[in-house]
Structure 1
Amino acid sequence: MAEHTQLIDAINIRTAVRAFDDEPIDDDMARQLTMTLEPINLLADLSIQLVRDQPRVFTEANASGHLTNAANYLAIVGPKNDDEAKERAGFYAERVVLTATLRGLGTLWVAGSWDREQAARHCRVSDSQELYLGVVIGYPANHLEYQAKSYEQLTEVQRTHRTSKTFEQFTPTMSDEERQSAPDWFKAGVEAAMKAPSAMNRQPITFSYNAADDTAAAHIDPTAGDEHWALNDLGIAKLHFQIGAGQGKWAWGDGGLFIHR
């Protein structure tokens, strides 16, 4: 893994990790993650916080076997009643997830598999803020064996670890001819977004390409049944698309445009 250090590499090997080793995140790794969080929080106007060694937050999930040895998390905190902030939270917190992936850590976005009230006791949430979601983080089970795998082995694990919607399902408003004639950057962006996590694993985001002005658009699929977390999922999918497409920038919001540079 050491020779692969780009975010697109992280996209290609990231999987949802539910079983963790009981080895704690050490101070050095925590400092590295904090150094990543500080500029991202400043840029995003969020308060993403690393919380370590709080297994009580995951007591029920660990006891049921849904999770194993979950004890650390990223608390994703932002302004109350702010839809754009929720989208930014998905975009920028996933940036931290990908960085953690490159450092050999496992992650899992959680909406319901934790005790939210317990989680809020261990992070800073002001009266004007709320705790949106969490990301479980830690060393994957048998992590030394995991870290010894080649990049090619890890990409194969990523490819087969879950089912995914097809390219056609991610671009439902486009015809086969439009998909075929779309530029390579759009195709690469959608393929990266197909590997993105979503809070309820429903992949509720779709994309379209407009040849007239050479832009892409991202949309929340109202039929996916995941309206509560859709804005967060929109941000995650937009980040994956942007990394896959290369240089370019999104406008925030459902239907926001991506301009490739």
Structure 2
Amino acid sequence: MAEHTQLIDAINIRTAVRAYDPDPIDDDTARQLDMTIDAVNTLAGIRIQLVRDQPAVFAGANASGHLKNAANYLAIVGPKQDDEARERAGFYAERVVLAATLRGLGTCWVGGSWDAAEAARHCRVPHGDELYLGVVIGHPENHLSRMAAPYEQLVEIQRTHRDGKTYEQFTRDMDDAARQAAPAWFRAGVEAAMKAPSALNRQPVLFSYNADDDTAAARLDPQVETGCGPNDLGIAKLHFQIGAGSGTWAWGDGGLFIHR
């Protein structure tokens, strides 16, 4: 797995990890993650923070068996009542998640499976900001054998670990002829977005391609309620951008992607 260092490789092997080994995240790994976090915080205008060794934050989830040995997390902090900031938070925090995946760490986005008040005690939440969500992070259970597993095996685990929506469902706004006419980069982007995490695994983002100006668009599906729509939109946009190979998104529900 160490030979695969591209973000698309991380997308292809990332799964939600709920069981962890108790081994701590070492200082060198933490420094590497903090370097990534500092860079994306500058771009995003939010405050992602790595918090280590706080098992009390997950005491209930660990006791119930929903999580196992969860103790570390990414705290995702940003302006209150700001959907665009929440979207940016999803986009850029998932970028940190993928960097962690390439380092052999496991992650799992959490909203309700933690003590948010306890989590807020161990990170910086300035006046006017709030703690949006968190990402559990740590060494997956039996991580040494996982690190030794072939990349192809990890890809297969990702492919089969959950039921997800089809390409046609993700592109519901398009008819069959439009799908056939769409360029390869669009399909690659959607297929990468199909592997993105989302609240309650509801995958609430729809993609479409406009041949007239060679752009893609992403919008929240009004038929799906997650409570984390802007965050899920940002995560899905990042996956799409990586899958498409190059290009940039406009923020917002219905924002356009320009491929370059």
In the superposition, the TM-score normalised over structure 1's length comes to 0.99
Q: Which one-letter code corresponds to 1:22 in the other structure? A: P
Any stretches of 5+ residues in structure 2 without a counterpart?
A: none
**Corresponding position of 2:12:** 12
Any stretches of 5+ residues in structure 1 without a counterpart?
A: none
CA deviation profile, 1:180-207 (whole Å, cap 9, x unmatched): 1100000000000000001221100010
| SS of equivalent to 1:76 | strand
**Corresponding position of 2:229:** 230
| SS of equivalent to 2:130 | strand
1:105-254 equivalence runs, <5 A: 105-226=105-226, 228-254=227-253
Which whole-Å CA distance do the structure 1 matches of 2:246 and 2:191 have between them?
16
Runs of 4+ in 1 over 6 A off after TM superposition: none
Which whole-Å CA distance do the structure 2 matches of 1:205 and 1:144 have between them?
35
| SS of equivalent to 1:200 | helix
Which whole-Å CA distance do the structure 2 matches of 1:23 and 1:224 have between them?
38
Which whole-Å CA distance do the structure 1 matches of 2:144 and 2:152 have between them?
17
**Corresponding position of 1:257:** 256
Q: Which one-letter code corresponds to 1:218 in the other structure? A: A
| SS of equivalent to 2:74 | strand
Residue correspondences, number: 260
Does the 8 A contact of 1:111 with 1:200 survive in 2?
no
Which whole-Å CA distance do the structure 2 matches of 1:256 and 1:225 have between them?
19
| SS of equivalent to 2:254 | coil
**Corresponding position of 1:23:** 23
Post-superposition shift, 1:58? 0.5
Which whole-Å CA distance do the structure 2 matches of 1:3 and 1:27 have between them?
23
Which whole-Å CA distance do the structure 1 matches of 2:53 and 2:249 have between them?
36
CA deviation profile, 1:134-182 (whole Å, cap 9, x unmatched): 0000000000010000110000000000011000000001111111110
**Corresponding position of 1:43:** 43
Which whole-Å CA distance do the structure 2 matches of 1:50 and 1:245 have between them?
29
Does the 8 A contact of 1:79 with 1:85 survive in 2?
yes
Q: Which one-letter code corresponds to 1:197 in the other structure? A: P
| SS of equivalent to 2:71 | coil
Which whole-Å CA distance do the structure 2 matches of 1:18 and 1:60 have between them?
13
Q: Percent identity?
A: 75
| SS of equivalent to 1:77 | strand
| SS of equivalent to 2:108 | strand
In the superposition, the TM-score normalised over structure 2's length comes to 0.99
| SS of equivalent to 2:197 | coil
Does the 8 A contact of 1:216 with 1:259 survive in 2?
yes
Which whole-Å CA distance do the structure 2 matches of 1:39 and 1:160 have between them?
33
**Corresponding position of 2:95:** 95
| SS of equivalent to 2:218 | strand
CA deviation profile, 1:71-94 (whole Å, cap 9, x unmatched): 000000011111110000000000
Pair 1:76 & 2:76 matched? yes
Which whole-Å CA distance do the structure 2 matches of 1:224 and 1:218 have between them?
14
Which whole-Å CA distance do the structure 2 matches of 1:73 and 1:89 have between them?
15
Does the 8 A contact of 1:19 with 1:68 survive in 2?
yes
Q: Which one-letter code corresponds to 1:58 in the other structure? A: F
Q: Which one-letter code corresponds to 1:139 in the other structure? A: H
CA deviation profile, 1:29-56 (whole Å, cap 9, x unmatched): 1111111111111111110000000001
| SS of equivalent to 1:125 | coil
